[in-house]
Structure 1
Amino acid sequence: MVERYGNLSPRAQYLINGTPLSVSPSIKDLGVLMQSSLKFNDHISRIVSKARAKVNLIFKCFFSTEPGLYSRAFSTFVRPLLEYGSVVWSPHTVTLANHIKGVQRNFSKRLFIRCRIPYSLYPDRIAQLSLPTLEHRRLISDILFLHKSIHGFYSYDRTNLFKLSPLARSLRRSHSLRIVLPYSLPKSHSNFVTRAIDRWNVLSAEFVHSSPSNFRSHILSLPSISFTSDSLLRL
């Protein structure tokens, strides 16, 4: 089977023992559905469908009115489906992000009904359940991946993604691992660097130079509000 990426890829026909290989519009690579268009709409639709089915199963299997039980089940069985490989496929449009968010929104609403908790809006529901937003968790994944990339724990060519660019003079907002994009990118372009660069560049020097384990522990302990620029300056 052959998959071609981009409009400029060659359209040569490939054969094995004289049999032409079929061309596929998508292929699964390490659990991520890759489309020839380099978009991830199909992958997101697939994981959302699986996650919703898992949510339905949770409410079929449990009859408790204890909210914590359902929250733990969601974090254990559903959320990993929505997060695996997100550094690669993280949604670049509001529509796709809302499609993913709808799983947790629906889950929290059903939980409140099952546990006989008075109705609340979605932000208040997940706050009561101590569930961070899925957007926040994807951003954490991006920053963790960026941290390991900068410190050389991942071996890949990063020259087209980012480069180190410390400021010439020391400022309260800067550190020696500050990064910039190697060239101007269109606003629609999305990768883990473009999503995390603003947050990364305002982290404290002590924070960015810490070990992966300490960095991970610290960043996972931060509430969502801490990822605003003003809050990050105080870390």
Structure 2
Amino acid sequence: MAEATALQRVTQVRDLGVQLTPDLTFREHIVKICKKAYRNLGFVLRQSQGFTNITAIRVLYDALVRSHLEYGGVVWAPHEAKYSDMLERVQNKFARHLYRRLYGVYPLYPLMYPTLFVLGMVSYNELGVRRQFTLVVYLIKLLHGKQHNPGVLQLLSFSVPDRYVWRRRRPPLLAVPAAKTNLLAKTPLTRAIRTINQIQTVIDVFACQFNKLAKIILYILCYRLE
């Protein structure tokens, strides 16, 4: 008879490239991908020193660095500023390097250009905006019938107020799920529903052509929402 072996209790599991922990905060996953992105960014900056084609440098960054920072972002998108800033620092470092290559000056000391200005000058958006845009567009595609995901679709409920509420103010498009914990209130799906409700106050997401709608959503996320 074989000897009994105790099963080891694991504290984290890697599934499809995403590090899962019991608390479902994805903090360890974010720290891990930031470390890997920094290593890849260092490689890109070293190997591209002699490049004169800026497009080639962008392609290397998008393929080797930003792809790691965005893979699975719909699932693990952080709501804590600490981890969101951790991701943004990687891209900001590349944006400053690219700005110097394009304009011949380094945007930090002594110029101290704002980060958003530098990103705009090199034609990049914040990673947080891109994650938010990806999830919002995905949910709107579900509502338009352009995506098939019954599991997520059943979590979306239209808000149907009474006439009294309608007269006072424009009601939200989607009902925000009730949350008993802060973690549930800050899930990517709940945040995306709130964002769609804010966007709906500016444009009708059902009355606009989808290509045009996507551009308007990106503009609103960048410049209109706080």
Whose helix proportion is higher, 1 or 2?
A: 2
CA RMSD between the two structures: 3.2
Give the 3-state SS of the residue equivalent to 2:150 in structure 1.
Answer: coil
| Equivalent residue, structure 1, for 2:188 | 192
Tell me which moved more, 183-192 or 27-36.
183-192
1:109 aligns with 2:96: yes
For the 8 Å contact 1:87–1:191, the answer to whether it is kept is no
* Greater strand content: 1
Equivalence for 1:119: 106
Aligned letter for 1:111? L
Query: Is the partner of 1:221 in helix, strand or coil?
Result: helix
Cα gap change, 1:185 to 1:68, in 2 (>3 Å): farther
* Post-superposition offset of 1:182: 3.2
Query: Shift of residue 79 of structure 1?
Result: 1.3
Q: 1:155 aligns with which of 131, 150, 153?
A: 150
**Rounded Cα–Cα distance in structure 2 between residues aligned with 1:80 and 1:219:** 25
Residues 1:145 and 2:138 are matched in the alignment:
yes
TM-score of the superposition, structure 2-length normalised? 0.76
Alignment of 1:1-235 (within 5 A): 18-62=4-48, 63-114=50-101, 117-120=104-107, 121=113, 122-150=115-143, 151=145, 153-156=148-151, 161-168=155-162, 178-187=173-182, 189-201=185-197, 202-203=199-200, 204-205=203-204, 207-208=205-206, 215=210, 217-218=211-212, 220-222=214-216, 224-227=218-221
Shift of 1:56: 1.3
Greater shift after overlay, 178-187 or 189-198?
A: 178-187
Aligned partner of 2:15: which letter? D
Is the contact made by 1:68 and 1:129 (CA closer than 8 Å) also made in structure 2?
no
Partners of 1:162 and 1:185 lie apart in 2 by: 18
For 1:119, the aligned partner's letter is Y
Aligned residues: 208
Q: Deviations over 1:150-205 (max 9, x none)?
A: 4471131666x542223456789568xx2112324545532222212233124333
1:62-106 deviation digits (Å, cap 9, x = unpaired): 222443332232223321211111111101100000000010011
Gaps of 5+ in 2: 108-112
Matched residue of 2:151: which SS? coil
Give distance in 2, aligned partners of 1:81 and 1:50: 8
Give the secondary-structure state (helix, strand or coil) at the position aligned to 1:28.
strand
Alignment CA distance shift 1:148-1:185 (3 Å): farther
Contact 1:108 1:126 in 2 (8 A): yes
Describe the shift of the 1:85–1:219 C-alpha distance in structure 2 as closer, same or farther (beyond 3 A). farther
Are residues 51 and 220 of structure 1, via their aligned partners in 2, closer, same or farther at CA, if it must alter by over 3 Å?
A: farther
